[in-house]
Amino acid sequence: MTVIDKQMKAVILAGGLGTRISEESHLKPKPMIDVGGRPILWHIMKICSHYGINDFVICLGYKGYKIKEYFSNYFLYNSDVTFDFQSNSMDVHNKHAEPWKVTLVDTGDDSDTGGRLRRVRDYLGDQPFLFTYGDGVADINIEQLVAFHQSHGKLATVSAVLPPGRYGALECDGDKVNGFREKPRGDGGMINGGFFILNPAVVDYIADDTTSWEQAPLNNLAADGQLQAYRHDGFWHAMDTLRDKNHLDGLWKSGKAPWKVWP
């Protein structure tokens, strides 16, 4: 029996400027940039939905109306449709709807990550929730993540991941090259991979709109002994640059996207 409550919510940050991928983000919010023909936000939601989390609170900011338009027209994007201009009617065929409830909240163009979470407090309820970024995918087992959070009883759990390597590494013996390793994973140091499980009380650690979640709140939670790390050794990748986008797009199109945990 799953440990995930059917009422568990997922809060997704989707309001940043995405300046490092401005080739695309000047037209749309970064979570709406396509991977394999679908916004990366959709991929993140599909991961959550696979584990029974279907109630989403999405924190909007920069060009948030683009995300509102996407969900308001979700049937049109995912179904066949007939427009009859003589009768001024529209018929949607083969409707395919995800079992999702999606709450879109304007959290301000200039709010920082903590400020955005603080602004959605009224939508969180009283139970633990998943909190993540709208630009990163992983083959993380959310059921195990939630079970880990329940087991330690602290306010917060962060998924710790090894960052993907950016460059290949030479294996040298002095000046002699013995081999080449393609893109080794980081330097062994774990980083914040998003996919937090949080109790609503963590919002008390956020001062105002200017608060970065990754700074004072996480540091103070750690200092109070309220932050635990769930180690994820599998696939994780953030879409920070156009190169990242193309890499993820290539994985999806090859049929080898590790984060596609759903059927």
**Residue 242 Cα distances to 33, 35, 163, angstroms:** 10, 11, 17
Q: What is the pLDDT of residue 181?
A: 60
Question: In terms of C-beta density within 10 A (0-12 exposed, 13-18 middle, 19 or more buried), how is residue 166 classed?
Answer: exposed
Residues 130 and 53: beta-carbon distance below 8 Å: yes
**What residue ranges of the chain have pLDDT lower than 50?**
1-2
3-state SS class at 204: helix
Q: Give the separation between CA 221 and CA 200, rounded to whole angstroms.
A: 13
Q: What is the pLDDT of residue 171?
A: 67
In sequence order, the 6+-apart residues with CB closer than 8 A to the CB of 238 are 133, 135, 136, 244
Q: Give the separation between CA 197 and CA 148, rounded to whole angstroms.
A: 9
Q: What is the pLDDT of residue 169?
A: 59
Q: What is the pLDDT of residue 1?
A: 38
Q: Give the separation between CA 74 and CA 174, rounded to whole angstroms.
A: 58
Q: What is the pLDDT of residue 18?
A: 87
Q: Give the separation between CA 196 and CA 37, rounded to whole angstroms.
A: 27
Q: Give the separation between CA 61 and CA 179, rounded to whole angstroms.
A: 47
In sequence order, the 6+-apart residues with CB closer than 8 A to the CB of 258 are 139, 234, 235, 251
205's tokens: 């650690």
First to last CA, the chain: 20
Helix (H) or strand (E) holding 114: helix 113-119
Enter the DSSP assignment of 124: S
Q: Give the separation between CA 81 and CA 70, rounded to whole angstroms.
A: 16
234's tokens: 């599998």
141's tokens: 């087992």
Q: How far is CA 122 from the centre of its chain?
A: 21
Phi, psi of 212 (to 5 degrees): -85, 125
